[in-house]
Each structure stands twice: as C-alpha cells, then as structure tokens.
Amino acid sequence: MNHMKFLSQSSPVGAPNYWPFVKMHGLENYFVILDRREIAKKFEVEDIIRICSTNVGAGGEQLLTIERPSPDGLMAGAYAAMRIFNIDGKEASACGNATRCMAYLLLEETGLEHVLIETAAGVLSCRRTGLRHISVKLGPISLDWRQVPTSREINTLHLPLESGTLSDGVALHIGIPHAVFFVDRLVLDDIPRFAPAIQNHPLFPEGVNVSVAEVVDTQTIRLAVWERPGILTKACGTGACVAAYAAMERGYVSASKVEVHLPGGQLQIELIENDMVIMTGPVAFCCHGFIEAGAMA
C-alpha cells in the first residue's frame, strides 16, 4: 500500500467531512499523521484531543501533520514541514520518533534516500539506513539553563531536585526540555510515582520530560521516559538522545555510539561534533483510514 497516496485520497462517498490518516509507530511510540499541505484551516484543540483519543479517535501519543515548508524552510532545502501536537492539544517543537516516521513517508513519496524536514526546532536531516530503518540528525543539545529553560540559574549537570528514587539529575534542551536521572536499577513502576513531581516542578516553567536511565555498561543504557503532558511512553527518541549525551557528560559512557534500550525496543545514538546526535531506529505502520474532520473541515 502506498500510504502517501492514501493520504491524498478524498473522503469516502457519502462522508464528505472525513479526512484520511495513517497511523505509524516508532518502537510503539504511536502517531496519527495527516497530510495538510492542501489544507489551510487552523486546527482546534478539541480536534487534536479527539483524534489522539483511544476511545473516540484514531488513538496516538501525538498528532503529526505534513505541511508546506515556510519560505525559510524552502531556502534551507526542506521538502516538507512537520507540526507535532501532544494529546492535550499543545504543540511540541521536537520528537525524534515522530521525525523518523514522517521521514519514512516522505522518502517513500520522493523515492530518495535523504530528505530535509522543517520543524519548530529547525530543519532536520533524515536518511534511510535500511528496510524501514531511518536516521535523523538532532541537536544541538544544550545544558544552558536559559535554553532548557529553568526558572533560575542552576548547575544543569546536577539538578537541585529530588523525588523518591530520582535525584541529582541533568537538565538539557534538544528542541524540548528534558531532565535525565540515573538510577542503579530501572524500575518502571517507580516512574509514575516519582516523575510527575519533577515534570511539574516550578523550576521548569514549560514543564519537562523526565528520563530515568540505568547505565548497563560504557556503551549501553536502559531507559524509560515520562513525557509531557504526563504519560509513560514505550519510547522517546529525544529522551534517548539526551540520556546518551548526559551519560557522556557524566563520564558514565565512553563510546561515541550508544545503544539505548527502551520498553518498546532499541535505538542507536551516535554522539557527533558540535553537540549533535544521530538517532537511528525502526518505523512501522499500524493502520490507515478516515477520521471525522470536525472543525478542521
């Protein structure tokens, strides 16, 4: 099935207010994708919440839209733009797994091996690296408290916060804010108990994604991520990137390529120059169909 061709289809006969969607996942990180390159109308928050709902919508952790690139994006060589919406309707600047899924669709559309995608975090370079395996170059990663951001100046390599088993974390920015906490043993049940206090702490005026990492050896990390707006996800691409970077900054890993094992599967993170990273992993299709357009129509 040519999924991009499906996304360009019109609504079924007798259902004029329905839009085609494709649902994909990167390591069980689920996305509902709409092609809005020919649609100018603004999304309403209630549309986003409904579409992402597992009860009344297609069900996803984020809604992704394919958009026409801006003039600046075109100047930078972007083939298309991507917007990312969380399940609460708020727009996010970056998502590594979402970018890989979007890149796969656009690579299939173009027949190319490389594509540039404009996002709110910049124009991202994506490549096909195997059968439904995609890499994306992300960054730069910053430890600057003003970029994270935090509400006051702090040592971001040693966060002055503690919640249960989470202490002495690292705050970073990779298009979105993250806090990484290293533990001796990763226990998934502990994360919903202790991560929300960090996510909603006044130190983070925009909230923060909370990553909990166990360093297995100098090139392997086990990781789980509590994402804004408050879900324990099976995988988080940007979380894997900052966890590898933070582990390097702390001296816990020494290899330039780090294997990050998440509940949904494995990502390879390559730490390169200028605080950039290359994230590589698989993508997969779930289903496609039509969803009620609502206020989008």
Contact (Cβ atoms closer than 8 angstroms) between residue 60 and residue 34: no
Q: How far apart are CA 272 and CA 234, in angstroms?
A: 26
28 and 262 in contact (C-beta within 8 Å)?
A: no
CA 89 to chain centre: 15
Q: Of residues 52, 101, 126, 236, which has the active-site annotation?
A: 236
Residues 221, 213 contacting (CB under 8 angstroms): yes
Q: Is 286 labeled as catalytic in the residue annotation?
A: no
Give the three-state DSSP class for 180.
strand
Is residue 124 a contact partner of residue 116, using CB atoms and an 8 Å limit?
A: yes
Among residues 52, 95, 101, 126, which one is catalytic?
Answer: 95
Which residues, at least 6 apart from 234, have a Cβ–Cβ distance to it below 8 Å? Answer: 27, 28, 29, 262, 263, 264
* Cβ atoms < 10 Å from Cβ of 113: 10
Peptide bond into 160 cis (omega under 30): no
SS3 assignment, position 4: helix
Phi, psi of 173 (to 5 degrees): -130, 130
Q: Which residues of 222-251 are buried (b: 16+ CB within 10 A; e: fewer)?
A: bbbbbbbeeebbbbbbbbbbbbbbbbbbee
- The CA distance from 63 to 42, in Å, is 14
Q: Note if 241 is an active site residue.
A: no
Residues that are catalytic = 95, 236
